[in-house]
């Protein structure tokens, strides 16, 4: 099937990535049916896609029916979702509640692989984000004119293996270090809050390290740093 014949369903969370993907797909002639998890995301994507719906992430039955009615079989999950919603039971329909009860834990990997299995049970195929968004994945090396100093590189070498271990343990993908001390670890609050806490605790300048898991599944939760985080 050529790109011009493709029709992809987008499960859209917050951030810049969903809109970037839609624009890139449009240039290739790929048609997008978007299900946005909030009205704000929906408003942004609606002018850019073939069909757009706003459905809360806690209503999987309605989401699946929408894509089936649209005869879409390939789905991609992009954008951020605030994990704290798992502590709001009123946010979810009965199917979602039963899904959570079936999990051995609600760690990111367990949760998101479980979501993918539910999607696949409905007959959908979840696409690899890296294959669709390869152009925004940076090459190895420095991305800015300013390069780390010798001391900063020592901090990075100190923190990298720690960050990898924590990511593999499903705790978080970001740590903040200063003077070879871990001053903050990302958990459920997300990258931005972890960086803010690290800077406050270390009284200013520090090093943030964000990593992927050792065996990263690029269908979900690909680590990224957006413009708001950079600010």
Burial class (CB in 10 A: 0-12, 13-18, 19+), 191: buried
Predicted TM-score (pTM) of the model is 0.85
Segment 62-79 shows an average pLDDT of 97
Neighbour tally for 183: CB within 10 Å: 19
Residue, of 203 and 155, whose pLDDT is higher: 155
CB atoms within 10 A of CB 21: 25
Mean pLDDT across the chain:
91
Domains and CATH numbers, the chain: 3-135 (3.40.50.20), 139-216 (3.40.140.80)
Q: What is the per-residue pLDDT across 160-186, written as a single tens digit (0 to 9) for each?
A: 999 999 999 999 999 999 999 999 999
- pLDDT given at position 165: 97
pLDDT digits 0-9 by tens, 90-128: 889 999 999 999 998 998 889 999 999 999 999 999 999
């Amino acid at each position: 099937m050529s790109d011009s014949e493709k029709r992809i369903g987008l499960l859209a969370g917050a951030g810049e990535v969903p809109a970037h993907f839609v624009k890139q797909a449009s240039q290739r002639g790929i048609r997008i049916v978007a299900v946005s998890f909030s009205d704000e995301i929906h408003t942004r994507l609606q002018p850019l896609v073939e069909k757009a719906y706003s459905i809360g992430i806690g209503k999987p039955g309605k989401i699946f029916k929408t894509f089936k009615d649209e005869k879409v079989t390939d789905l991609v999950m992009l954008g951020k979702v605030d994990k704290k919603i798992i502590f709001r039971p009123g946010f979810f329909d009965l199917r979602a509640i039963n899904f959570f009860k079936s999990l051995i834990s609600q760690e990111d990997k367990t949760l998101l692989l479980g979501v993918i299995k539910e999607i696949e049970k409905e007959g959908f195929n979840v696409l690899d984000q890296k294959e669709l968004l390869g152009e925004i994945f940076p090459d190895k090396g420095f991305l800015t004119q300013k390069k780390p100093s010798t001391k900063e590189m020592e901090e990075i070498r100190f923190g990298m293996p720690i960050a990898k271990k924590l990511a593999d343990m499903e705790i978080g993908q970001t740590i903040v270090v200063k003077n070879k001390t871990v001053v903050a670890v990302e958990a459920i609050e997300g990258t931005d809050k972890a960086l803010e806490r690290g800077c406050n605790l270390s009284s200013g300048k520090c090093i943030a390290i964000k990593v992927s898991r050792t065996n990263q599944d690029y269908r979900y939760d690909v680590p990224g740093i957006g413009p708001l985080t950079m600010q």
